[in-house]
Amino acid sequence: MNMEARAIKKYIPGSPRKMRLVADQIRGKSVEQALDILHYSPKHASKVCETTLRSAVANLINAKDGGRINPEQVFITAVTVDGGPVMKRMLPAPQGRAYRVRKRSNHLTIVVTEKE
């Protein structure tokens, strides 16, 4: 029987495209391997991804009623990045015009599974 747990972080500032670059690096990897990748990645999205991954692992431990989990047997089964709401702002432009600036946000979902 495979135990499964998820963690969802919503309204993360930054575009979904930039978050997907980080999410693609850890999809399908073991949690230990993924944490190493995220910890040493220079991207801002990797820090958010790391905290969400740690939360998913904590949720898995709590789902097992505080039971022991072997870290080598916990894998990331799914990482999804969905677009969040977009804040629209105006930027002054030449000759009295204004350019629209779209400040994007994203939602991150990480699902971890313990393989027996």
What is the H or E stretch that residue 87 is in?
A: strand 87-92
Query: Cβ neighbours of residue 111 under 8 Å, at least 6 residues apart?
Result: 4, 5, 6, 56, 76, 77, 78, 79
Strands 87-92 and 98-103: what pairing?
A: antiparallel
What is the H or E stretch that residue 18 is in?
A: helix 16-26
Q: pLDDT category, 3, cuts 50, 70, 90?
A: confident
pTM greater than 0.85 (yes/no): yes
Higher pLDDT, 3 or 111: 111
Domains: count for the chain: 1
Cα–Cα–Cα angle for 36, 40, 42, nearest 5°?
Answer: 145
What would the pLDDT profile of 38-84 be if each residue is shown by its tens digit? 999 999 999 999 999 999 999 999 888 767 888 788 999 999 999 99
Q: Could you tell me the CA-to-CA distances from 100 to 18, 86, 88, 89, 90 in Å, in that order?
A: 20, 12, 7, 6, 5
CATH number reported for the structural domain that contains residue 54 in this entry: 3.90.470.10
27: phi then psi, degrees, rounded to nearest 5: -60, 125
Which residue, among 63, 96, 60, has the nearest Cα to 75 in the 3D structure?
Answer: 60
Q: Which domain holds residue 76?
A: 3-114
